Amino acid sequence: MALILPESREALAEGLAARGYIVDDALAMSVFLALRMRRPLFLEGAPGVGKTLLARVLAELFETRLIRLQCYEGLDISQAAYEWNYPRQLLELQARGGRSEGSSVATEGLFQEAFLLKRPLLQAIDAAHDRAPVLLIDELDRADEEFESFLLELLGDFQITIPELGTLTARHRPIVVLTSNRTRDVHDALKRRCLYHWIDYPSLEKEVEIVRRRVPGLADHVRRRIVAFVQRLRREDLSKLPGVAETVDWAEAIAHLGPDDLDPGLVGATLGFLLKHHDDIERVRGALVEQLLADRA
């Protein structure tokens, strides 16, 4: 069953917004073209700006399965794509032992899909799918550079070659979203196979709208004060700047507390929702909190 794609980038943006994900025209265009051209979408940007969330919302929009590969240092093919189920193969060999004297006959048929353990990349192109899944290759920059070479065949031809079995090709091309926090450069050969988009921190109005949709219980003036404070905080020299995810978390926490407005005491007590380094919290708490709050939006 083929996915029914939006007719326009405006329709796509509306569909994403209905699920709480707000996109600007540039991102809507990139996602729309990636879907229409059936190309992987490579997203870079600071942590917390919504790269991973986009893949999740796309899976919701198309009512299809989300397959996620979380990258990390040392990730290899056996963990990302496939490996042979050696215990099951051994049991099969033992079961055949009394029925065949020839070793070649006894081992025949052990390298079939029935003995294959399918990891996320192979799951994404599994011909058994009745519709295209969304494949999220998350934080690619955390994986080793050598791992990128293996992805080239998948991203270029939507297939994986297994030496013992042959080449397996997708019946329904997955929607592929790759993300990177840019802790290192990703090789150009991989980027050439993708449509590239940089997701920046949103404007004040866009972030206010994101918070409105994600935390609807907040008063309008409190919501705007929350977002304005976070946006000013991002101009400071901090170890890790708060992303949109942190803004939403903080807004939800403030909603539970139910204040009529923000004050330095409340902000100082809840800075852990925005900042994840002790030195950053200590730097901001106190006079800087008062200064950032005083500059009203």
Tell me: the pLDDT tens digits for 233-276?
Answer: 999 999 999 999 999 999 999 999 999 999 999 999 999 999 99
Rounded mean pLDDT of 140-152?
92
pLDDT at 146 over 60: yes
Task: State the pTM of this model.
Answer: 0.88
Tell me, yes or no, whether 1 lies in a domain.
no
pLDDT at 285 over 70: yes
Tell me, yes or no, whether 158 lies in a domain.
yes
The string of pLDDT tens digits covering residues 154-189 is 999 999 999 888 899 999 999 999 999 999 999 999
In the prediction, which pLDDT does 234 show?
95
Q: Could you tell me the pLDDT band of residue 126, with boundaries at 50, 70 and 90?
A: very high
Tell me, yes or no, whether 3 lies in a domain.
no
The total number of structural domains in the chain stands at 3
b/e string for 214-231 if b means 16 or more Cβ within 10 A?
A: bbeebeeebbbbbbbbbb
CA distance 48 to 193: 25
Tell me, yes or no, whether 92 lies in a domain.
yes
Q: Which of 198, 218, 235 is the last residue of a domain?
A: 198
CATH assignment at residue 135 = 3.40.50.300
Residues 145 and 23 in one domain: yes
Residues 171 and 90 in one domain: no
Please state, rounded to an integer, the average pLDDT across all residues of the chain.
91
Residues 64 and 130 in one domain: yes
Rounded mean pLDDT of 55-73?
97
- β-pairing, 41-44 vs 116-118, is unpaired
Tell me, yes or no, whether 264 lies in a domain.
yes
Residues 103 and 39 in one domain: no
Residues 286 and 169 in one domain: no
Tell me, yes or no, whether 2 lies in a domain.
no
The string of pLDDT tens digits covering residues 198-220 is 999 999 999 999 999 999 989 99
pLDDT at 27 over 90: yes
The string of pLDDT tens digits covering residues 88-119 is 888 887 877 755 555 555 566 788 888 889 99
In the prediction, which pLDDT does 105 show?
58
Q: Which of 143, 170, 198 is the last residue of a domain?
A: 198
Residues 257 and 126 in one domain: no
The share of the chain scoring above pLDDT 70, in percent, equals: 95
Range of the domain at 284: 204-294
